[in-house]
Structure formats: structure tokens, C-alpha cells
Amino acid sequence: MSAPSNNTAPVIRFSDVHKSFGEKKILAGFSMELEKGQTLAIMGPSGVGKSVTLKHAIGILTPDAGSVEVFGQEISKATRKELAEMRKRMGYVFQEGALINWLSVGDNVALPLRENTDLKEDEIRERVQRRLELVHIPDAWELMPSEISGGMKKRVGIARALITDPELILYDEPNAGLDPEIARSINALIRELQERLGVSSLVVEHRIDCIRTVADEVLFLDGGKAVVQAKPEEFFNSSHPRLARFFGKDSA
């Protein structure tokens, strides 16, 4: 199905997606939907395919079977040009921040605009400054990545993901490597961006406090499939045996 772009379709839809690497089956009938304005968290054991799932949503990976639709369009059927247009509508926050070490904070944030748009330098500078303000680091432009903390690198990564005004943001473990206090400030920022900008988000994370702060729903990925999907209160109180085992609450 390669439905044309429309407003009623979910922002992301995975339908019965299968993906293997060699002999290793990672996704085996994975389905999920992300509605407009919603934040869905994906949780699951390490190595289960959470990052692989995000990479399907950006079109870095394509399914062996099944389909991945983003903005109502099947991503594996998109032309290179269509894919580039789709990617302008998405922001991706990498686990390690993925800043370029020899570029200043401001130039890192400006990169997607310099690479993908014909905007004039004045306009680029103004947009970058607004994004730095949005993530609460208004004076960081001239700093180099080696001079800033892990929490600030995350903020810069988020500012860069926001620079093209995306409708959809994908976060890969936004709390990884952060102490609890800084993690809380990042989670509050993610929530604030959802509320202020109305973006849809997919958040891969295993920190419970993060999920409680940011997620409308939580999906547990295991064995290549969505095992449970529920609102956070329901999810964390669930008596589902797989979740009980994951959280160490089983009596066995």
C-alpha cells in the first residue's frame, strides 16, 4: 500500500514488519502506530531492536517484509527526493549526541540548514539562536563540543533536531549517560517541546522516570513484536508476565 500523504493517517505506521540481519531475526511481525501529537515510548531489553525500529522510521533501514509508513507514505517506496522531503519533516536525536567535534555548538545546530536549504546566513543565524534559546542554552553558540557537559550536548542535539521545524522527533535513549538531575531536565524539555510545538515523538528509553514524564503510551518490544502497549500508569502496574520479569517483580 502506498497511500498518498493525508492528514488522517497516523504519523508513523509499522505493519507486520520483519527484519533480519543474516541469521538474526530482529523484527518478526512488528506493528505499531503513532498518532499525530502523540508521544510513544518504546521499551525493551538491550539488543532487542529498538534502535533498528527508529532507523526504519527514518528510512536508514528498510523492512524485509511488511511496511513502514511515515506521514502516510510508504518509506521504502519513496524516491530519493521524496525521502529527502520526508526527512526534513523529522528530527532525530542520536544516543551519543553525535556532535561534530570541530564545529562550534552553533555551527553544529546550523548544519542541517546549511546542507539542505538555500537560506541566507543571516536567517540561519537567527534560526539557530532561537533554537538555542528554546533548549535553554542561549549563550552556547561559540562553545566547542569538548567544552560542554553531557547534558548540554543532549540539548545541542535536540536543538539541531529541531532546526528544520520537524513535525516528528525520534529520540534514541535521551537519558543515556546522564545523571538523574540532568536527565530530569532533559525529560522536562522533551515534554515542554511537545506541549509548545505539538510535535509527535517516538522515544526509545528504558528509564522509567523518563517515560512517566514524556510518554502518552508505552510499548514493550520483545521477540521482534510489540508485546504490550498501554498508558504509563497501566503499563507500570501491569501484571503481564513478561513485564513482571523485565522489572524484576515476578516471584519466580
Ligand X SMILES: Nc1ncnc2c1ncn2[C@@H]1O[C@H](COP(=O)(O)OP(=O)(O)O)[C@@H](O)[C@H]1O
The residue whose Cβ lies closest to Mg ion is 51
Give the nearer residue to Mg ion in terms of CB position, either 88 or 206: 206
Q: Which three cell numbers stand for residue 43?
A: 521499551
Residues in the chain: 252
* Number of residues this chain uses to bind ligand X (CB under 6 A): 10
**Interacting residue with ligand X among 17, 27, 34, 50 (CB under 6 A):** 50
What percentage of the chain's residues is helix, strand, coil (to nearest 5)?
Answer: 40, 25, 35
For Mg ion, the binding residues (CB under 5 A) are 50-51
Instruction: Determine, following the binding rule CB under 6 A, whether residue 27 of this chain makes contact with ligand X.
Output: no
Options 43-51, 160-168, 185-193, 229-237: segment touching ligand X (CB under 6 A): 43-51
Give the nearer residue to ligand X in terms of CB position, either 43 or 113: 43
Cα–Cα–Cα angle for 42, 14, 91, rounded to 5 degrees: 60
Residue 26 site contact among ligand X, Mg ion, none (CB < 5 to 8 Å, cut-off depends on kind): ligand X
**What is the SS3 assignment for 200?**
strand
Give the nearer residue to ligand X in terms of CB position, either 52 or 93: 52
Options 48-56, 63-71, 159-167, 225-233: segment touching ligand X (CB under 6 A): 48-56
Residue 102, exposed/middle/buried by CB under 10 A (0-12, 13-18, 19+)?
Answer: exposed
Separation of alpha carbons 191 and 153, rounded Å:
18
Cα–Cα–Cα angle for 89, 199, 65, rounded to 5 degrees: 60
- 89's CB contacts (< 8 A; 6+ apart) are 71, 164, 166, 167, 168
Instruction: Determine, following the binding rule CB under 6 A, whether residue 21 of this chain makes contact with ligand X.
Output: yes
Q: Which three cell numbers stand for residue 10?
A: 497516523
Instruction: Determine, following the binding rule CB under 6 A, whether residue 218 of this chain makes contact with ligand X.
Output: no
Q: Which amino acid is at 212?
A: R
Options 44-52, 112-120, 130-138, 205-213: segment touching ligand X (CB under 6 A): 44-52
Instruction: Determine, following the binding rule CB under 6 A, whether residue 48 of this chain makes contact with ligand X.
Output: yes
Binding site for ligand X (CB under 6 A): 21, 26, 44, 46-52
